[in-house]
Amino acid sequence: MSAVRAINLVLPEIEVHLAGSSINGQLVLNVRSTLVDPVVKVELVGRGFLKWLQEDNPDLEYEKATAYTNQAVYVSTSKIFHVEDNCLNSGVHTFDFQFSLPPSVPSTFTSKVGCISYFVKGTCWSRRIPLAREERCLLVQGTSSDSKRHLKDKAPLVLEAKKDVDYFCCFSHGSVMLRISLEKNIYCPGETIVFTTDIANRTHRRIRKIVYAVHCIILYCGFSSRGEQCYLEDRSEVTRLESQTNTDPLEDMKLTSSLILPKPMPITSTLKENKIMAFRYELVGTSDLPCTTSTIMGRVPIIIAATKDQSSV
């Protein structure tokens, strides 16, 4: 039976912690019997890790893949509490602590290839014997280290996508044009993206639906066991909206739509900033053209940037 009845970490009721903010909490120990020479410790750790397998030569008859990995430590700090007379009597003992997140740490992130995670861990030892441990995960929202570098990108964005269509069954042809317009292209996590879509349907079929999505394009940087560097680009969907248009043949239509960004989410960044992975974003509009196997797609690059003043988390 352990000499520690229970260990609890009491953290502030904050859903998402901003980079650069402070974390105030308590470690509560419920001791069953007297502890001699106890070590009571709290740690704040933030780290990233990635791993993927890549086939060396697809033309080979046998499968041979190389594992690429990488890791980074974004924050690692701890506090060991002073215990008077090196003795903890039975009962409940409370230890206050405070940690500060560095202003440059990236956001919490998880994918099939890599992750960035943060946690607070409390432990209690006595005479080098571990007695109790508790770990609590934190959601962290990164902020832009230099918001001025995005100022030149604040102009409204307009993107046009056009697709010519041939209907072999009825020997006719036409075209569809999508024009997606944004008021701006810099957004904060949790903000709503409002955009308009102009549809010019020059076919004899009705366009029934357009699917909008915000895609996150992640660039991973890994190393093999031989020290060889390799990059992997992956795309994931952040948020999605299906809009029913029902645009009649040979008609034009204007739609106003919106997408809500989640919190937290990685900000637009480079490998230099995040060490092992980089992030960029696109607003993508897609529509399957009727009676064909063709799809029209428009991509508008957007920037996710946040400062402490811009993010109310």
Q: What's 109-151 look like in SS3?
A: EECCCEEEEEEEEEEEEECCEEEEEEEEEECEECCCCCHHHHH
**pLDDT score for 313:** 42
Distance CA(96)–CA(119), nearest Å, equals 17
The pLDDT, as a whole number, for residue 183 is 86
The SS3 assignment for 182 reads strand
Does domain 4-141 bear CATH number 2.60.40.640? yes
DSSP H/E element including 274: helix 271-274
CA dihedral 282, 288, 289, 293 (to 10 degrees): 110
Segments making up each domain of the chain, as ranges? 4-141, 157-304
Which pair of structure tokens corresponds to residue 87?
């003795």
Query: Does the CA dihedral 197-203-204-205 come out positive or negative?
Result: negative
Residue 2, pLDDT score: 76
- CATH assignment of 157-304? 2.60.40.640
**Hey, which bits of 228-306 come out as E strands?**
229-247, 252-260, 277-288, 295-304
Whole-angstrom distance, CA of residue 115 vs CA of residue 101: 18
Residue 308 is predicted with a pLDDT of 60
Q: Matching CATH topology for 4-141 and 157-304?
A: yes
The ranges of the chain with pLDDT < 50 are 147, 151, 312-313
pLDDT at position 122 is 96
